[in-house]
Amino acid sequence: MSLTHPQRRPAVPGAPAAPDAPAAPDAPAAHVHGLHATGDPANGAPATGWTVATALPVSYRVRFTPGVLDPRNPALARAGGPPGRRLVVVDARVHELHGHRLRRYLAAQGVEYETHVLLAHEQVKTMDAVFQVADRMDAFGISRRGEPVIAVGGGVLTDVVGLACSLYRRSTPFVRVPTTLIGLVDAGVGAKTGVNHGRHKNRLGTYHPAVDTLLDPAFLATLDRRHIGNGLAEILKVALIKDENLFGLLERHGHDLLDTRFQSPGTGAAVLGRAVHGMLQELQPNLWEHRLERLMDYGHSFSPTVEMRALPELLHGEAVCVDMALTTVVALRRGLLDTGQAERVLRLMRRLELPVWHPLMEPVTLAEALADTVRHRDGRQRLPLPRGIGAGLFVDDLDGAELADAAGRLRTWAATGGADAVRGSGTRA
């Protein structure tokens, strides 16, 4: 599969832009490369102002790598740099379950390594964890470019290690080996790093993609069922907003995927492949998020606040699912979905053993969540909503009354599971 959007050209420091250089889709402004001085320096007068313009070439790999810890497979030992020394940061639970295989692998590949075991879950996703990793990088004496840190774990671990690496000497390369479903299809494939700060989700973070990400679904065999469902929520997001075929696959096989933890050949690979491709198609043209209308923000408008206030009750994907359930009902009220489609969506969420409702979905919390999201989206709602199943659009005019009505209908549906509940009696004012 290839992503066909035009790529930004590598920057040559100081060189003018090639006249036919394609405009970078996420470029903030139409600057050309170079140093532009104001004043009249050509005639010997001192320059009085300067504009420095350059572009950052970015290219990173994401690849399915079954058998990533097979001692005969050199992929991980060579990922992101020449074979040699590596600092390996591993999620504590993954270390318990897979540490022996990891050690055997690194020894077989002749890697000179040290391991740092990190407790990683949402409540310890803080700067303290980042400082722990930075201290360990220091103690290891990591070189600046040629010794990528290897991060092995779920989305919390890879977000923390990514942030530490982006800060350490302002940028140190790292390699990701995601071990959860969210890691495989979402946290492990994009460019964002981050930790929670204050009461806010991922409030501190950077854009620093891993140079290489190796996806091995075999890790999912030890993941508990609830975390498989949690990852299925992010796959459902991609399906709802841009991939109707993926939605069909989830309807037909989603429950089996929960049962088998993606370990049966066939459908699991198809679902994972479509989810990762759909995600990267959306991320690549807007990697730095200069454009704030992002389809992949679907399910992420109310959920950051709900997830943080509900901690540790809701997992990330579960909070996203509750948000998607709410906005499905908003879309239904606006005639963007019909009742049958909305029912299919909500029923599928249930079938994937995901929550569609949480008591925090009440008007005050929802209004506060939306206000925070408006600040995050630079003063506008830019709220992604589904249009049918498999497409989306953005709106800016959701008000408190509409939100409260949608939440009320959803609460009734969650309690009764009836079509009448989501259809309601009124339509959009």
Ligand X SMILES: NC(=O)c1ccc[n+]([C@@H]2O[C@H](COP(=O)([O-])OP(=O)(O)OC[C@H]3O[C@@H](n4cnc5c(N)ncnc54)[C@H](O)[C@@H]3O)[C@@H](O)[C@H]2O)c1
Catalytic residues: 192
Q: What is the DSSP letter of 207?
A: B
182 is a site residue for ligand X (CB under 6 A): yes
Residue 157 engages ligand X in binding (rule: CB under 6 A): yes
Find the shortest distance in angstroms from Cβ 90 to ligand X. Answer: 10
To ligand X, the closest distance from the beta carbon of 49 in angstroms equals 37
Shortest distance in whole angstroms from residue 180 CB to ligand X: 3
| CA atoms of 248 and 147, how far apart (whole Å) | 43
Give whichever of 232 and 329 is closer to ligand X, judged by the CB atom.
232
Tokens of 31: 């600057």
Chain mean position to CA 44: 52
Determine the interface stretch with ligand X among 8-16, 179-187, 348-356, 371-379 (rule: CB under 6 A): 179-187
In the list 154, 229, 278, 386, the residue contacting ligand X (rule: CB under 6 A) is: 154
Report which secondary-structure segment, H or E, holds 156.
helix 155-167
Please report how close the Cβ of residue 241 comes to ligand X at its closest, in angstroms.
Answer: 15
Task: Please state the separation of Cα 249 from the chain's center in Å.
Answer: 21
208 or 409, CB closer to ligand X?
208
Shortest distance, CB of residue 20 to ligand X, whole angstroms? 33
A 10 A CB-CB count for 66 gives 12
H-helix segments, 243-266: 244-260
CB 343 within 8 A of CB 422: yes
Closest CB 9 distance from ligand X, rounded Å: 26
SS3 159: helix
CA distance 148 to 165: 9
- How far from 307 is each of 18, 75, 159, CA to CA, in Å? 47, 36, 17
Q: Which two three-digit tokens encode residue 393?
A: 């659009």
Residue 174 within binding range of ligand X, rule CB under 6 A: no
Among 153, 254, 268, 299, binds ligand X (CB under 6 A): 153
Nearer to ligand X, 238 or 406 (CB): 238
Contact region for ligand X (CB under 6 A) — 29-37, 120-128, 250-258, 395-403? 120-128
- Spatial neighbors of 62 by CB under 8 A, at least 6 apart, are 188, 189, 212, 213, 215, 276, 280
Is there binding between residue 91 and ligand X (CB under 6 A)? yes
Rounded to whole angstroms, the Cα distance separating 319 from 317 reads 5
Of residues 304-343, which lie at the interface with ligand X (CB under 6 A)?
A: 316
Q: Report the distance separating Cα 153 and Cα 181, nearest Å.
A: 10
Site size for ligand X (CB under 6 A): 29
Q: Out of 76, 120, 325, 330, point to the residue binding ligand X (CB under 6 A).
A: 120
Q: At 19, list the tokens.
A: 């006249």
Site string for ligand X, 218-257 (x = CB under 6 A): -x--xx---x--x---------------------------
> Rounded CA gap, 87 and 148, in Å?
8
Look up tokens 């979402």; give the residue. Answer: 186
**Separation between Cα atoms, residue 103 and residue 82, nearest integer Å:** 19
Check residue 180 for interaction with ligand X (CB under 6 A): yes
Asked whether position 73 contacts ligand X by CB under 6 A, the answer is no
- Shortest Å, Cβ 403 to ligand X: 23
Q: Which region, judged by CB under 6 A, interacts with ligand X, from 176-184, 206-214, 378-386, 418-426?
A: 176-184
Among 102-110, 156-164, 271-279, 327-335, the segment contacting ligand X (CB under 6 A): 156-164
Give contact residues for ligand X (rule: CB under 6 A). 91, 93-94, 97, 120-122, 125, 153-157, 159, 179-180, 182-183, 186-187, 190, 192, 202, 219, 222-223, 227, 230, 316
